[in-house]
Amino acid sequence: MLDLGEQQITSTQDQVFVSCKSCGYRQNIKAWELADPLRIICNGPDCGDTYSIKEGIKNAITSDNDFMAWCFVSDTIISGHDTIVIGTVKEIKLKIPIRNAKKVFILQTAPLEADSHSRIYLEHKIILPDILLIISSGDSVTSGKPCDINWVVYADVKSDSEEAWREYLQRAKESIINGNYQGAIIEAEIAVEVTLATVLWDLLTRKKKLSDDVVDWILSKVQAASDRAKKVMELAIGKKISDINPGVYKSWVKLVAQKRNRIVHRGEPATREEAIDAIGAAFEIIWLLLELADKEPVGSRNRDKR
């Protein structure tokens, strides 16, 4: 537990947030502490199932759990422990400036010494770049009394991620949270397409030794994602993505690409389940693409902290 007035800052990119598909138990693991990415043991009560880091991250991304959702769509968690006076506004200066706040949680840590039927109400306001206001109100019994609280701010602190796929999947997840299921599927498809373009560029320039101008010309002539996944990938590594992992490829085409096209061109509605399935399918093919380019989805730079 944090001391009164103390703040803790945690980077979500320094941790791997995973969830067990069997029991739903969630846990976070330091990226550099991953001994075996293929075998994580669930610490949930009476579970003990094992799963890979990829399965755990996918389960976390597609989870309905608020904790998993907000950890995924923000890059930094700032938390603190403070005392407020009911009926006043408490101004808290965050230890670091933020670009935006995705979600704020405020929790009363202990009951007040008052009538059990009394209620207090807590609201918040963020004043960028570094002020958190906690606004409280109560009744005649609770007004003016001190109250201990814990608060958590899920925020973006860093500049835009160099990993565009992560940024777009974050937007897709946030769209689900906000009930925009069509937008979630569109963002999931964008995440796949930008990853595919980045990976093809890397493979063609680094492995095939083609010049930047030649690669530019190839990608300008073949712009459809499905054609790039077949023709250009075959040029780059001698195989189509559908040959490497047919199941992952078919799921992307059916659950993400084709659904996105029907949304954009026909205005077809989308359900929450379709949006969650799309994010899961997009994540699977993105992981496959990154592996083809020898890029670690769980950054090696974090493991260097060992």
CATH of the domain at 217: 1.20.120
Whether residue 116 lies inside any domain: the answer is: yes
Amino acid at 251: S
Whether residue 5 lies inside any domain: the answer is: no
Q: Are residues 135 and 171 in the same domain?
A: no
Residue where a domain stops, chosen among 37, 53, 73: 73
State the pLDDT at residue 31: 67
**Structurally, how many domains does the chain consist of?**
3
Whether residue 2 lies inside any domain: the answer is: no
Q: Are residues 181 and 151 in the same domain?
A: no
Beta bridge partners of 146: 85
How far is 179 from 200, CA to CA, in rounded Å?
A: 33
State the pLDDT at residue 303: 40
Contacts of 164 (CB under 8 A, 6+ apart): 191, 194, 195, 198
The domain containing residue 127 runs over which residues? 76-156
Residue where a domain stops, chosen among 121, 137, 156: 156
Task: Supply 106's token pair.
Answer: 């405020």
pLDDT at 306 over 70: no
Tell me whether residue 164 is exposed, middle or buried, using C-beta atoms within 10 angstroms of its C-beta: 0 to 12, 13 to 18, 19 or more: middle
pLDDT tens figures, 72-112: 778 899 999 999 999 999 999 999 999 999 889 999 987 77
How far is 169 from 96, CA to CA, in rounded Å?
A: 25
Q: Are residues 203 and 279 in the same domain?
A: yes
Provide the pLDDT confidence category of residue 174 given band limits of 50, 70 and 90.
confident
pLDDT at 244 over 50: yes
Residue where a domain stops, chosen among 49, 73, 97: 73
Q: Average per-residue pLDDT in the chain?
A: 88
Q: Are residues 65 and 124 in the same domain?
A: no
How far is 40 from 35, CA to CA, in rounded Å?
A: 9
Q: Are residues 177 and 295 in the same domain?
A: yes
Whether residue 51 lies inside any domain: the answer is: yes
Whether residue 4 lies inside any domain: the answer is: no
Q: Are residues 142 and 171 in the same domain?
A: no
118 φ, ψ to 5°?
A: -70, 150
Under 8 Å between Cβ of 194 and 164: yes
pLDDT tens figures, 113-149: 655 567 789 999 999 999 999 999 998 888 999 999 9
Amino acid at 206: R
Q: Are residues 182 and 295 in the same domain?
A: yes
Among the residues of the chain, which ranges form H helices?
A: 53-61, 66-73, 164-177, 181-202, 212-221, 225-227, 233-237, 241-244, 246-251, 258-266, 272-292, 300-303
Task: Supply 237's token pair.
Answer: 């590594």
Q: Are residues 111 and 225 in the same domain?
A: no
Q: Are residues 280 and 192 in the same domain?
A: yes
Under 8 Å between Cβ of 19 and 63: yes
Beta bridge partners of 185: none
Q: Are residues 117 and 248 in the same domain?
A: no
Q: Are residues 292 and 169 in the same domain?
A: yes
Q: Are residues 189 and 287 in the same domain?
A: yes
